[in-house]
Amino acid sequence: MKQFSTDRISFVSSGTPEADAAAAALRSRYGEVGFDNAEVVVGLGGDGLMLQTLHRVMDRNVPVYGMNFGTVGFLMNEYAADRLVERLRAAKATDIHPLTMAVRNTAGERHEALALNEVSLFRASYQAIKLEISVDGQPRLDELICDGVLVATPAGSTAYNLSAHGPILPIDAPLLALTPISPFRPRRWRGAILNNRAVVTFRAREVDKRPVSAVADNVEFHNVVEVVVREGREHRATLLFDPGTSLEERVLTEQFRY
């Protein structure tokens, strides 16, 4: 990543009164060049705001430094108004690559979206869904009956993937997590850890009776019949963390929580 200018900062807020007030104070103190002209973006909010902002700067070589005004703040730094420029200059950069989701629906329409955390398939009715799963064109599971299934990046492995009892992946590991959500059959299948070059294909069965939705972070498509997921190495987003609180350290620490 090229060296960015701390003279060209843009501030974005999650929209809560506290975050808006902090953003206004920081703009008054450090200036504001506008989002499209920024060389670094400072986000004030929670992890949801961070994901939205990273999607907005994707492939622009503009890093994002978050300050927490949310609930968890796994992707954020602690808020402090003082010494912001010094913190930005000392921050550690972490590049993450998204997943590319390509879907085909019952009408034959095709759509694509990017996911920094995970691509998820969900049942869209009271009926469990039935999915065939292939990896690199080879069928691996003839039929998974479940509420859903997801593919997570290392950065997303501590989010919904962890809640679904999936594995935590080191942030720099060339891996993806394939994790079922409330599997019914095969009941004992707990998912798989895949190489990040793997191409995962899901094909839905009995879609008239068991409709399926597919979600890439916060972009959702309905009535899907096929979903193809791969890592999009051609895309990149960059997060900034204070020294000693890098994303690598946070992921490692998460593995020792109980």
Q: Own/partner pairs for 76-81, CB < 8 Å, 24+ apart?
A: 76/43, 76/45, 76/46, 76/47, 76/50, 77/240, 77/241, 77/242, 77/245, 78/242, 79/22, 79/44, 81/22, 81/25, 81/26, 81/29
| Claim to verify: residue 28 and residue 110 sit in the same structural domain | no
| Claim to verify: residue 178 and residue 134 sit in the same structural domain | yes
Residue 195 pLDDT > 90: yes
Span 80-133, pLDDT tens digits: 999 999 999 999 999 999 999 999 999 999 999 999 999 999 999 999 999 999
| Claim to verify: residue 242 and residue 216 sit in the same structural domain | no
Beta bridge partners of 12: 43
Q: Which residues of 103-134 are buried (b: 16+ CB within 10 A; e: fewer)?
A: bbbeeeeeeebbbbbbbbbbbbeeebbbbbbb
Which of 20, 47, 172, 242 does the annotation list as catalytic? 47
| Claim to verify: residue 119 and residue 207 sit in the same structural domain | yes
Is 47 annotated as catalytic? yes
pLDDT for position 127? 95
| Claim to verify: residue 90 and residue 109 sit in the same structural domain | no
Per the structure, how many domains does the chain have? Answer: 2
- Stated as kind and residue range, the H or E segment containing 227 is strand 224-231
| Claim to verify: residue 142 and residue 207 sit in the same structural domain | yes
Span 45-58, pLDDT tens digits: 999 999 999 999 99
What is the β-pairing status of strands 64-68 and 138-152? unpaired
Residue 142, in any domain of the structure: yes
Domain membership of residue 75 as a residue range: 9-97+236-254
| Claim to verify: residue 40 and residue 86 sit in the same structural domain | yes
| Claim to verify: residue 121 and residue 39 sit in the same structural domain | no
